[in-house]
Amino acid sequence: MTNRSPFLISALAFGFAFLYVPILLLIVFSFNESKLVTVWGGFSFKWYGELFQDEQLLGAAKVSLLIAAMSATLATLLGTMAGLIMARFGRFKGRTLFSGMITAPMVMPEVITGLAILLMFVVLEELTGWPDGRGITTITIAHTTFAMAYVTIVIQSRLSQMDDSVEEAAMDLGARPLKVFFLITLPIIAPALVSGWLLAFTLSLDDLVTTSFAAGPSSSTLPMVVFSSVRLGVTPKINALATILVVLATMAIVVAGYIMHRQEQQRKRAMQRALAEQDAM
Amino acid sequence: MSQQARSLQDQVARTEKGEASDLLKPLIQIEGVTKTFGDFVAVNNVSLTIYQGELFSLLGGSGCGKTTLLRMLAGFETPTSGRILIDGQDMTRVPPYERPVNMMFQSYALFPHMTVEQNVAFGLKQDGMPRDQVRQRVAEMLDLVELGHLGRRKPHELSGGQRQRVALARALAKRPKVLLLDEPLGALDKKLRERTQLELVNIQENLGITFVVVTHDQEEAMTMSTRVAIMNQGRILQVDTPHAMYEYPNTRFVAEFFGSVNIFEGPLLEDEPGHVVIGCPDLSVPIYVGHGISSREGATVYAAVRPEKIALSKEPPADGTYNTSTGVVEDIVYLGGESTYLVRLDSGRLVRADLQNQTRSSEPELTWHDRVHVSWEHSNVVVVTS
């Protein structure tokens, strides 16, 4: 039933505006000729050109991508193990405590997480000499800690949806538990691994607070550079950078959506074919 | 049932009595097995012997322990106490991947990321079978279940019936000594189920593999099995051929679970070796039973009469001293081949009688509100004491 009252239509319009007007403004002003961010001075690609000349920004982007890829991979590895324990290990002493502690970083204020991690690194360095100053390694470890919590949730929910008897069937057919995990469980939860990795990747990419605590002098990430340069005054260059990021993210979502849609269609067609064959029998 | 299955039943009976010269080899020996989950006793001191070539059914309602018993045979659960021997070897603590048994799961549990062929080949590859032999065996198994043309499909591209066949082919591919089937037909619709029952029996007889089937459907157990064990609350109540189970139930529960039945409760009045007489307040006359039982006079016993063994007539039966009563037809359920009549006796008790519809006449001989005489032969009553 559709009842498109003026109220619903305006609610829809307002909702969309609330979400997307700021981003649209940002994109529009990235093509601004003028150096003043809020004054329109004509259309230009000038700031995009300048952006690709800016060694500091490009370097920071590289560092960010590297950290995001590494911490996402680590978080996926650890998160999968934690998710597996929560979904498959059954009841064990301290299970509630364990699951609470896994999800705690999600609700913990980031300032506290960051401070705690900084403290740990300082103490560790005094005791063992490692890590030698703070940099990419320490940021990666810090990001892994909180990203892992999200990955665990994703993996755990996928595993608890999965039919246990599929794993039992593999074992029944002669596969040992480790083989069952690699031949059966892992391929089945692969989509959850991918989405967990992507989630961790984006979380790492735009984290600022925790990063600031774990970062050293030579390891500024993109959000740190953007944030500090904005404090000196917003330049249209930042707008250009943000626009590129928005376009990349949109493209990724559109492509992923298209692939998923096509798979779903194929699946439906195959299902219909199977049913038709059964009826014909 | 095939003649082959029938002669196996006879052989099992002779073996159990120890009187056969061609004693059957016990394939599965379950010895005093108990399984508890916390305080809950899922399987309670069960002992059972299953012989080579049998199609054995574990029948019972949900939560009766039949699935737990099957999972202990597969190795997914370890008995709390007792032993399980398969082909003479103690398997109690052997993990599932080292047992000579395979299982077909209720949900089929097909590997969703593999094709039909890869699913069937999985177990063979785990055994390290050479590749060309694997290919040959897979083709053979798929032909057996008539799915040779669908080998490259993924499970989600198959219908429910086709998935069931893939699961069967996969479980049979390793030629296990025993195939365990957990509600193998539960997810199929009625028509497909009836056809698949017969196919399963055919495949079982052709391959000679022992099947142990868990089911809650007594009709399924009756049509397929050489023997049936009825379970309730973790215990086995009776192990018998479907025929013996139906005609000679040993408890009230078995009589009621395996088919429908009219149970008359009353004190034992006369207990002679050749017959017993039971006083039944629901009937106008006592019940006379043509066999002796071992109980004491005065004890409460239950006389069980199957609905199809009850006669309805407008005329009183020739001998009115035993096994009869009068009542009014209250309801008639037409089922095609037969009709079920519900007769309200004068005592208020409802009795069920199934009569064959032998003619096509649209006007039944008996109709609603007819006064009828209910009666049965004394040889058609079974007395159980619990």
Nearest chain A residue (CA) to B175? A173
B127 CB neighbours in chain A (<8 A) are 174
B67, B77, B122, best to mutate vs chain A, most A CBs in 10 Å: B122
**CB distance B109–A271 less than 8 Å?**
no
The ranges assigned to domains in chain B are 3-100+176-252, 260-384
pLDDT value, residue A279: 63
**CB distance B122–A270 less than 8 Å?**
no
Q: Among A9-18, A125-134, B163-172, name the one with the lowest average pLDDT.
A: A125-134
Q: What pLDDT digit, counting tens, does each position of B303-313 carry?
A: 999 999 999 99
ipTM score assigned to the predicted complex? 0.87
In this predicted structure, the answer to whether residue A278 has a pLDDT above a threshold of 80 is no
pLDDT band at A281 (very low <50, low <70, confident <90, very high): low
**CB distance B110–A172 less than 8 Å?**
no
pLDDT band at A92 (very low <50, low <70, confident <90, very high): confident
pLDDT value, residue A2: 67
**CB distance A170–B112 less than 8 Å?**
no
A184 CB neighbours in chain B (<8 A) are 111
User: Which residue matches tokens 């480790």?
Assistant: A178
According to DSSP, the β-strands at B324-334 and B311-313 are unpaired
pTM over 0.80: yes
B161 CB neighbours in chain A (<8 A) are 278
Task: Nearest by CB to A278, from B103, B110, B161: name it.
Answer: B161
CA distance B301 to B384: 6
Average pLDDT value for chain A: 88
In this predicted structure, the answer to whether residue B141 has a pLDDT above a threshold of 90 is yes
**CB distance A187–B97 less than 8 Å?**
no
Q: Among A27-36, B86-95, B210-219, B374-383, name the one with the lowest average pLDDT.
A: A27-36
A276 contact B CB<8A: no
Task: Report A:81-110 residues touching B (Cβ under 8 A).
Answer: none
**CB distance B112–A188 less than 8 Å?**
yes
Average pLDDT value for chain B: 91
The ranges assigned to domains in chain A are 62-233
Q: What pLDDT digit, counting tens, does each position of B193-215 carry?
A: 888 898 999 999 999 999 999 99
Residues B161 and B153 sit within 8 Å (Cβ to Cβ): no
**CB distance B157–A274 less than 8 Å?**
yes
Class (C level, CATH) for B3-100+176-252 = alpha beta
pLDDT value, residue A121: 92
Fold exhibited by the domain A62-233: MetI-like fold (1.10.3720)
Nearest chain A residue (CA) to B174? A173
pLDDT value, residue B85: 96
A174 CB neighbours in chain B (<8 A) are 97-98, 123, 126-127, 174
**CB distance A274–B103 less than 8 Å?**
no
A173, A188, A277, best to mutate vs chain B, most B CBs in 10 Å: A173
**CB distance B105–A274 less than 8 Å?**
no
**CB distance A176–B97 less than 8 Å?**
yes
Our CA-based measurement puts residue B121 at a distance from the nearest CA of chain A, in whole angstroms, of 10
Our CA-based measurement puts residue A281 at a distance from the nearest CA of chain B, in whole angstroms, of 11
pLDDT band at B7 (very low <50, low <70, confident <90, very high): confident
Q: What pLDDT digit, counting tens, does each position of B320-365 carry?
A: 788 999 999 999 998 888 999 999 999 999 999 999 888 887 676 7
pLDDT band at A51 (very low <50, low <70, confident <90, very high): confident
Mean pLDDT of B216-223: 92
**CB distance B95–A187 less than 8 Å?**
no
Mean pLDDT of A220-245: 86
pLDDT value, residue A137: 92
Our CA-based measurement puts residue B102 at a distance from the nearest CA of chain A, in whole angstroms, of 6
Our CA-based measurement puts residue B54 at a distance from the nearest CA of chain A, in whole angstroms, of 21
CA atoms within 13 A on the CB side of A83: 27
Task: Nearest by CB to B162, from A169, A187, A274: name it.
Answer: A274
**CB distance B157–A277 less than 8 Å?**
no
Q: Do domains B3-100+176-252 and B260-384 have the same CATH topology?
A: no
pLDDT value, residue A245: 86
**CB distance B109–A267 less than 8 Å?**
no
A170 CB neighbours in chain B (<8 A) are 111, 122
Mean pLDDT of A77-105: 86
CATH match of B260-384 with 2.40.50.100: yes
Our CA-based measurement puts residue B68 at a distance from the nearest CA of chain A, in whole angstroms, of 14
